[in-house]
Structure 1
Amino acid sequence: MAKRKKTIIAGSIVKTIIYTAPEPLDGKRARAEKSRMTTAAQKAMNDKAARGRLEMLMAANFTGRDLFITTTYRDDDLPPNRAEAVKRIRGFIKALREHRKARGQELKYIYTTEEKHGEARLHHHLVINSTGADIEVIRSLWPYGDVVDMEYVGQRDYETLALYLTKESVTGRPVGAQMWTASRNLKKPVVRSEYVPNDTMLAVPIGCHIIEKEERVTEFGSYCYIKYRLPTHQSGGIFHRPNSEIQGGADALLLACN
Structure 2
Amino acid sequence: MRRYALAMRIAFAVLRLVAAAAIVAAVVGQFVKSLSLVPEPGVFLVNFFSFFTIQSNLIGAVVLVVGAVLAFRGRDDSPGFALVRACATTYLTTTLVVFNLLLRDLALDQAATVPWSNEILHVWAPLYVLVDWVLAPGRRPIGWNRLWLVAVYPLVWAAYTMVRGPIADWYPYPFLNPDVAPGVGYGGVLVYVLAIAAFILLMGAGVLALSRTSWPYPADPALSGAAGSPRASAPRPRESAR
TM (normalized to structure 2)? 0.23
Structure having the higher Rg: 1
Tell me which protein shows more strand as a share of its residues: 1
Using structure 1 for the length normalisation, give the TM-score: 0.22
